[in-house]
A and B are shown apart, each in its own frame.
Chain A
Amino acid sequence: MARHRDIRNRSYSEDYDDDDVYGYSVEEDSCLSPSDASQWIYDRNRSQQVDLLQSHNDIQEEPEEDSIADTSLPGHERRESMDFRSLNLDEEDEAKLMSCLDELRNVIGDTISDNILIQAVMKHKFDFTKSLDEILNRNRDSEIPKIEPVKPVIIVDPSKAPVILTVDKAPKVIATNAEPKAVGIVKGFKVGQDGSSGSRPQTPRDQSPCPERMLKTDQSDEIRVTPKAKENRLDANTQYANERGSEKDHLYIVVIGHVDAGKSTLMGRLLCELGEVSQRTLHKYEQESKKIGKQSFMYAWVLDETGEERVRGITMDVGRAQFETKTKRVTILDAPGHADFIPNMITGAGQADVALLVVDATRGEFESGFDFGGQTREHALLVRSLGVSQLAVAVNKLDTTNWSQERFNEITKKLKAFLKQAGFKDSDVTYVPCSGLTGENLVKPPAEAGLIKWYNGPSLLDVVDKFNVPERPVSKPLRMSVNDVYKGTGSGFCVAGRIENGLINKGDKVLVCPTKEVAEVRNISINEMTTNVAFAGDQVSVTLTGVDMQNVSVGYVLSDPIQQVPVATRFEARIVVFNIKVPITKGFPVLIHHQSLVESANIVKLKSLLNKSTGELVKKKPRCLGNNCVAVVEIEVCRPICVERYKDVKELGRVMLRVAGATIAAGLITNIVST
């Protein structure tokens, strides 16, 4: 029913702001080591591989030594997870479960793991007394409860054999350890081909010792972790109020727009005006930029920090900086405008609450950024699809047009029409005339005579101050998406990212997914400032111990160890197709962008074509999808990733599909297919 409704009102705003959260989702049960593509090294003379093969195939076989296949087929062991998201409860039952759990907790405290409680409650159909009896009895029976079936689902593929034969008689290709997923033909079978014994790992990430290690540590960790996790959840809101109640709200703004619209300059100048950049630094930038003949970029250097960005005069990765307004602490994410760096821009936008779109008002420049294959449109569509609904538009470089009102009006008119189509409500978009280079109308009201004549609206800073801060889901189970992994100063290493849901306390145990390794949070910092707790919405850097740095990479999710993020390779999504050159068919190879993760995937099924405005079914199993249509498709990713249904966790329920450098569709995950 929920799906129906948001389909019907397909204007983006409704679509993407659907607030139904059911609090459960399908638990996925596969886990592979971090990189499915175990590495190999190919020898031209193949000595290594061939030897390996021959040693397996010692030519002396009689029927009994039947086939290598039997031993090497992965024992796909499945264990049921009792994690309560996997129970597939409906709202009512879930509520019953929760209240039962709470009562049980009141009686027995935090000594017993959630999972045991849940198991008991489910067994007795939410009957509190019976469950309590069972739990107490069980405790008496054995000191250490046997909770085998409730451990978080971890599938360990014991197969170490590099050669995988198929038992059926179909001729099939075997992949040795040497060439795992990358060769198309292997597609026929899903084998956990990670334990590649013969290959020397080439990249560090593949040395992951994870599966075996996990099995041993996990159970005990879970038990230890439980009370803590529970405690957190109970008072998350209180804690949030205590910690943040008196502070200014945090707001994250992504700055978007066509390359050279003046985004970095605008932000650099804004920071200077606000006194965030010291005179000394600015002077240094001025001198140095002059030296390489790029003086016009001196303000942009505040954000463009790498040598390469400065020399080339373009932003390549998201730059960030902070400043404060009257009511807010603002972090800006300066996105690269160039088409080649859209993946970085998507990462930036995925972390933002609101967006600032910068357009170059210069005659001809606005047009080339907007009409002729420029990034203005794509960026705006992307941020909207990524869930950003409030937008400020800086009509920049107005100094080049003599502060012409007509020009300003011409541009806003064009943008209004487009942005509305893209799903922004008129009331959520504010247009501000300004100039980043001269600093006009950024912080102070305009001084320029040409502008005062016709403009008496807010300055850019005022507009930023007026943005609404979205609500932070602090009481939900922890999800933090990782967008950077680096060495810190002390022990352990740091991962940076955004907390989508929940909160992290120093000392917490978190589950690094999709590999499902338990790590401990040693330190938390926000904007280089150490803190004891961080909440949903924050962009933080956490220091982890207990896992190897090489086993964590961009796109991973730190999850609550009990209420885990689903891990899957296949999911169903409702997609909105953008302007595309060729239609989408099944089998279409795409790159999916999911938060900071980019992974290659395939559209394996076109399930149905929907009417754009009513959401009604138009055709089942369409042959292909054309421009601007809405459809339900099934997507298979080439290795397991952490995904959530949109209705459970919005931020982790959105995907972008890109092909050959163009965004072809945006989707909301409607279902996670267990494989």
Chain B
Amino acid sequence: MKLVHKNIERDGCGSIGLIPEEPEDMWHAYNLVAVADAVTASTVRKVQTESSTGSSTSSRVRTTLTITVETIDFDTQACVLRLKGRNIVENQYVKMGAYHTLDLELNRKFTLQKPLWDSVALERVDQACDPAANADVAAVVMQEGLAHVCLITPSMTLVRSKIDITIPRKRKGFVQQHDKGLTKFYEAVMQGILRHVDFSIVKCVIIASPGFVKDQFFEYMMQQAVKTDNKLLIDNKGKFLLVKASSGFKHSLKEVLQEPAVMAKISDTKAASEVKLLESFYTMLQLEPAKAFYGKKHIERANDAQAIEILMISDKLFRCQDIQQRKDYVAIVDSVRDNGGEVRIFSSMHVSGEQLDQLTGIAAILRFPMPELEDSDADGESDSDSD
């Protein structure tokens, strides 16, 4: 994302101009825009013109509109952000107050005006505009009959293809059906890789599975590559990394990201560090339960005691429509930082963020044990908001 301008008043209100440059920037924009913000962007509008004879023709015009946002929708697959709201600036084609839906477009500037730019929003702008954070990794987790071809970008894990094929089991005298099914499956996974992995962008392609599936598959793929003289695969053979995973389900990406061989290659990526952090939370919960808490109520109380060493919070919580809720969470973040604690905002698009979301979206490792919290029942509240 490119920052074009930034005009923020003392009281926090103001506008920022941004140009999204890659699909992932739409995700950042999605996390920035809130209901009631004003967004100015270029768009296409269909207009009806009536000729003197009474027949009407419609044509498309490009124009710039400003709307107050009422609904926000993000299409995770195509990375399209769609904002709907009423027009608030006089326009040649569109009446004031008329509804319009803006799809933010790549490489076109949009301006976002907020009544309050809080620290979390500003941090998101910085993160989005940081050119250093850019390491894409492709990962295929597989088991016999099931595979997920995923793309891991700095702040998103996208499942690009899911292959789910029933492979007949080996049975007496019918071993061929099993082998045939397996070949068909490998072929489908290979096609998935060829179609979805852009070898010019990704640092490496991880192939992970239990048992020998990965080795067998890789052997198959390379054999096919030689047979069909597929330069792309042959030239990129070195980019493949075979590691263990316990299954072909998406969760097992978590194990993959913790494999030493993978860590060595991508240790700096957000996805891997978040997995590690969440894991350390669970380890703490096991070893010293009085130093690991989750749920807003517990976290607030721990924070009041200035006990939070590391706060893990999902970006989903900042996307909630309830302004007061967002304020509360921003306040926790700011205060943890003020007290010298570390704050990590998890992407709800990564596997560990998904898990954190399920775990109320907020968790912390404390500096000192607070057994008194353990006894207090705060789960009621956190339970209801996850349902």
The stretch from B30-38, B224-232, B302-310, B331-339 touching chain A is B30-38
Given the known A-B contacts A61-B101, A316-B211, A553-B166, are A587 and B374 also in contact in the complex, defined by CB atoms under 8 Å?
no
Q: Is the CB of B158 within 8 A of A528?
A: no
Could you tell me the distance between the alpha carbons of A660 and B283 in the complex, rounded to whole angstroms?
15
Q: Is the CB of B73 within 8 A of A166?
A: yes
Q: Is the CB of B172 within 8 A of A169?
A: no
Could you tell me the distance between the alpha carbons of A602 and B164 in the complex, rounded to whole angstroms?
20
Q: Is the CB of A661 within 8 A of B73?
A: no
Asked if A613 lies at the interface with its beta carbon under 8 angstroms from chain B, I say: no
Q: Is the CB of B210 within 8 A of A340?
A: yes
Interface residues on A, range: 35 or more
Could you tell me the distance between the alpha carbons of A110 and B286 in the complex, rounded to whole angstroms?
61
Asked if B71 lies at the interface with its beta carbon under 8 angstroms from chain A, I say: yes
Q: Is the CB of A660 within 8 A of B168?
A: no
Q: Which of B71, B160, B247, B285 contacts A598 (CB 8 A)?
A: B247
Complex contacts, B203 vs chain A, CB 8 Å:
none
Identify the closest chain A residue to B295 (Cβ). A623
Instruction: Report B179-199 residues with CB < 8 Å from chain A CB.
Output: 179, 188, 192, 195-196, 198
Could you tell me the distance between the alpha carbons of A486 and B167 in the complex, rounded to whole angstroms?
8
Complex contacts, B255 vs chain A, CB 8 Å:
660-661
Given the known A-B contacts A59-B45, A171-B33, A605-B383, are A67 and B71 also in contact in the complex, defined by CB atoms under 8 Å?
yes
Q: Is the CB of B359 within 8 A of A53?
A: no
Least Cβ–Cβ distance between A218 and chain B, in angstroms: 24
Could you tell me the distance between the alpha carbons of A183 and B253 in the complex, rounded to whole angstroms?
13
Complex contacts, B30 vs chain A, CB 8 Å:
171, 173
Could you tell me the distance between the alpha carbons of A41 and B149 in the complex, rounded to whole angstroms?
11
Identify the closest chain A residue to B209 (Cβ). A340
Give per-residue flags for B355-387: 1 if the beta carbon is below 8 A from chain A beta carbons, else 0.
111111000000000000010010110010010
With most chain B CB atoms within 10 A of its CB, the pick from A37, A176, A589, A620 is A589
How many contacting A-B pairs (Cβ < 8 A)?
A: 257
Asked if A258 lies at the interface with its beta carbon under 8 angstroms from chain B, I say: no
Give per-residue flags for A137-167: 1 if the beta carbon is below 8 A from chain B beta carbons, else 0.
0000000000000000000000000010110
Could you tell me the distance between the alpha carbons of A290 and B179 in the complex, rounded to whole angstroms?
24
The stretch from B78-86, B107-115, B233-241, B263-271 touching chain A is B78-86
Asked if A190 lies at the interface with its beta carbon under 8 angstroms from chain B, I say: no
Asked if B64 lies at the interface with its beta carbon under 8 angstroms from chain A, I say: no
Asked if B273 lies at the interface with its beta carbon under 8 angstroms from chain A, I say: no
Could you tell me the distance between the alpha carbons of A625 and B45 in the complex, rounded to whole angstroms?
56
Asked if B132 lies at the interface with its beta carbon under 8 angstroms from chain A, I say: no
Q: Is the CB of B282 within 8 A of A317?
A: no
Given the known A-B contacts A53-B80, A60-B58, A484-B168, are A170 and B177 also in contact in the complex, defined by CB atoms under 8 Å?
no
Instruction: Report A52-87 residues with CB < 8 Å from chain B CB.
Output: 53-54, 57-63, 66-67
Complex contacts, B170 vs chain A, CB 8 Å:
305-306, 317, 319
Least Cβ–Cβ distance between B137 and chain A, in angstroms: 16
The stretch from A200-208, A379-387, A413-421 touching chain B is A200-208
The stretch from B3-11, B13-21, B122-130, B314-322 touching chain A is B314-322
Given the known A-B contacts A308-B212, A589-B251, are A171 and B166 also in contact in the complex, defined by CB atoms under 8 Å?
no
Could you tell me the distance between the alpha carbons of A168 and B360 in the complex, rounded to whole angstroms?
21
Asked if B354 lies at the interface with its beta carbon under 8 angstroms from chain A, I say: yes
Complex contacts, B72 vs chain A, CB 8 Å:
171-172
Could you tell me the distance between the alpha carbons of A166 and B72 in the complex, rounded to whole angstroms?
9
Complex contacts, B116 vs chain A, CB 8 Å:
none
Asked if A604 lies at the interface with its beta carbon under 8 angstroms from chain B, I say: yes
Asked if A624 lies at the interface with its beta carbon under 8 angstroms from chain B, I say: yes
Q: A-side binding surface: helix, strand, loop or mixed? A: loop
With most chain A CB atoms within 10 A of its CB, the pick from B73, B177, B252 is B73
Given the known A-B contacts A183-B158, A306-B179, are A203 and B355 also in contact in the complex, defined by CB atoms under 8 Å?
no
Asked if A46 lies at the interface with its beta carbon under 8 angstroms from chain B, I say: yes
Least Cβ–Cβ distance between A267 and chain B, in angstroms: 14
Complex contacts, B70 vs chain A, CB 8 Å:
169
Given the known A-B contacts A60-B58, A171-B34, A171-B321, are A600 and B249 also in contact in the complex, defined by CB atoms under 8 Å?
yes
Q: Is the CB of B77 within 8 A of A42?
A: yes
Could you tell me the distance between the alpha carbons of A6 and B145 in the complex, rounded to whole angstroms?
38
Could you tell me the distance between the alpha carbons of A172 and B58 in the complex, rounded to whole angstroms?
33
Least Cβ–Cβ distance between B200 and chain A, in angstroms: 11
Asked if A174 lies at the interface with its beta carbon under 8 angstroms from chain B, I say: yes
Q: Is the CB of A185 within 8 A of B211?
A: no
Q: Is the CB of B320 within 8 A of A183?
A: no
Could you tell me the distance between the alpha carbons of A170 and B164 in the complex, rounded to whole angstroms?
33
Could you tell me the distance between the alpha carbons of A428 and B188 in the complex, rounded to whole angstroms?
48
With most chain B CB atoms within 10 A of its CB, the pick from A62, A184, A604, A624 is A184
Least Cβ–Cβ distance between A311 and chain B, in angstroms: 10
Least Cβ–Cβ distance between A64 and chain B, in angstroms: 9
Write 25 A-B pairs (CB below 8 A) sorted by A numbering.
A50-B80, A53-B78, A59-B60, A59-B100, A168-B321, A172-B73, A172-B74, A174-B73, A174-B82, A176-B76, A179-B77, A186-B76, A202-B188, A203-B165, A306-B175, A306-B179, A320-B171, A341-B210, A582-B283, A591-B249, A604-B386, A621-B379, A658-B246, A661-B210, A662-B246
- What are the 4 A-B residue pairs with the smallest beta carbon separation, nearest first? A587-B358, A184-B354, A661-B246, A178-B77
- Which A residues have a C-beta under 8 Å from some C-beta of B? 35, 37, 39-42, 44, 46, 49-50, 53-54, 57-63, 66-67, 163, 165-166, 168-176, 178-179, 182-187, 202-206, 305-308, 312, 316-320, 338, 340-341, 343, 483-487, 496, 528, 552-554, 581-583, 585-589, 591, 598, 600, 602, 604-605, 620-621, 623-624, 626, 658-662
- Which B residues have a C-beta under 8 Å from some C-beta of A? 30, 33-35, 43-46, 58, 60, 70-80, 82, 84, 98-101, 103, 143, 145, 148, 158-166, 168-172, 174-175, 177-179, 188, 192, 195-196, 198, 210-212, 216, 246-247, 249-252, 254-255, 279, 282-283, 285-286, 289, 293-294, 316, 319-321, 348-349, 351, 353-360, 374, 377, 379-380, 383, 386
